[in-house]
Amino acid sequence: MLTLGIPTLNRYDLLEAASVSAETGSLKPDRYLIIDNGMKFVYDDFYTSLGDRLTVLTQLDNLGVAGSWNKICASTPDIRLISNDDIIFFPDTIEKLVRSFDEKAVVYPAGIVSTNAFSCFIIPDKVLEIVGYFDESISPGYGYFEDNDYHRRMIQKNIPLVGIPDCKLVHHHSSTLKRLTDYEEQEHHRKFKIAKTNYIKKWGGVPGSETR
């Protein structure tokens, strides 16, 4: 079974665009799992058409990125594809990723840079058994450096992060900041600094300069 898991926080237009692009691909997900951190998800005609293939888990509190990823991992069997809500899949993106499934690797589309690998990735049960789940204490209720932390732990366990050649997508990664109010932008910078501090405390340096 292929599950597409997508966390979202008040970006339901992007979420639907991502889901529609997945549904029109050459390989469709058997199940869609939406982690709704904004509590405003609405079942429109498209989502209704998915029937029991769609599960929406509405959270009373924002789980943040790591918490949402952990919720998806704990709620789904292999094969699970986790994606940002600001992704647009090419018609063959998901098929190429699934064809490249490796139980002892995390795979992602090489059409995006490796620093954004965790924007769209397949993480198998075996990797979770070896590396563990994502560290929610790095960026509690938010979303920075948890991917760097996980990759660091993967390296220590000899688990590769593999970019799949000729596998592409569109990632609107700048869309989040553009939507922020002045207050929200200040909060973003504050939480970013907290996550950065937590990462340095754990690993002795910023990504690429760790001492532990």
In a domain, 38, yes or no: yes
In a domain, 192, yes or no: no
Instruction: Say which residues have a Cβ less than 8 Å from residue 101's Cβ, sequence separation at least 6.
Output: 78, 79, 107, 122, 124
In a domain, 94, yes or no: yes
In a domain, 89, yes or no: yes
Helix and strand totals (H; E) in the chain: 8, 9
Q: What share of the chain is helix, strand, coil (3-state, %, to 5)?
A: 40, 20, 40
What is the reported pLDDT for 67?
97
In a domain, 202, yes or no: no
Q: Count the domains in the chain.
A: 1
| Structural domain for 151, as ranges | 3-178
pLDDT-derived band of residue 113, with 50, 70 and 90 as boundaries? confident
At 75, which CATH number?
3.90.550.10
In a domain, 66, yes or no: yes
pLDDT in tens, 15-69: 999 999 999 999 999 999 999 998 999 999 999 999 999 999 999 889 999 999 9
Residue 119 DSSP label: G
Of the chain, the end-to-end C-alpha distance in Å amounts to: 38
Looking at residues 165-184, what average pLDDT do you find?
Answer: 77
Residue 175 pLDDT exceeds 90: no
What is the reported pLDDT for 183?
83
Minimum mean pLDDT among 110-124, 140-154, 163-177: which range? 163-177
In a domain, 197, yes or no: no
What is the reported pLDDT for 178?
64
What is the reported pLDDT for 77?
87
C-beta of residue 9 within 8 angstroms of C-beta of residue 37: yes
Q: Is the entire prediction scored with pTM above 0.85?
A: yes
In a domain, 130, yes or no: yes
Q: Which helix (H) or strand (E) holds 149?
A: helix 146-156
